[in-house]
Structure 1
Amino acid sequence: MTQGLHNLVAPAGARQGKKRLGRGRGSGLGKTSGRGHKGQKKTKSGNVRVGFEGGQLPLARRLPKVGFKNFDFKVTYAPVNLGRLGERFPAGATVDPAALVAAGLVNPRDKIKVLAAGDLKHKLALKVHAISAAARQKLEALGGSVELLGKPSGEAPSGKAD
């Protein structure tokens, strides 16, 4: 007989019966229903939160604060390799974020960093947010150029409205 969904049988011991609590002492789970006698965890909603240590000063508060995470201000870049640029763009092309989005290499909201992996055979004019030193060296050896986008001017804001 072939096996199908209509005749599947679970192996012995694979399925355990539901515990029927509070159905008499003879069941072994009557009266206190496996919760023991007295105490906070005896009732329906009686439990303690994760990390609660019975009033003792919790571990998280006993240890000193340490470290700092700058997640909110971390700048992440979408990596694009020179080899991929060489495949997708002709010689002398200007490669800016809009062109990279159109080529399907990055998402519109990404900041772009060019890396040196792969071989570039012709010069390109890049307008990107960041570039590795090795990629810049390869590109400039072929006569290409790099313009970095979104770099601050270096002037501190005056704090006054114009």
Structure 2
Amino acid sequence: MKRPIHLYILVALSTIASVLRIQSTFFTTFDEAQYRALFEGAEIEGVDNLVAMAKAGAAFSTNIINKVLTILLVLLLVATIVFLFKKANERASYTYIAYLFGTLIYFTYSYIGGLQVSKNFETAELHQLTKSGALVGYGINIALFALYFGLTVFFLLRKPKETPNMGQTSTDI
């Protein structure tokens, strides 16, 4: 039986993304003085508005829905890894597809939340720039979803299914 090398690679990349997602969801802290010093050092106008937006962004990224979605995605990824170790490659592919749809939900929620956070800007230019950035990021995530999903389904449908051995065994009567 051939090893699903593509799935090992995709799961490794997804594991890196999940570690970063866990860090940003569970370990992000908002330090107003640090943000204020950063924005004042860059001589950006409207520092109070930018600090308020950064605070809203940090609150959104650590809310309960993001935490639940992150835990769900990690559990699906762990299940995929367990199935890969057990050499249940078809089940691993299906759980990875479930993980991919979970990431689609996560990124859609993040995009909608990013639009809500961008409403904190007082100027229309910054509001529009933030909306555009969120849309570009969402588009990249959709493209990655389509690529990962397409590769997984292609290799899942391409491989021959495991057929049970119809030979007679010692327990047959």
Give the structure with the larger helix fraction.
2
Give the structure with the larger strand fraction.
1
TM-score (ref. length: structure 2)? 0.19
Give the structure, 1 or 2, with the largest relative contact order (CA under 8 Å, sep 6 or more): 2
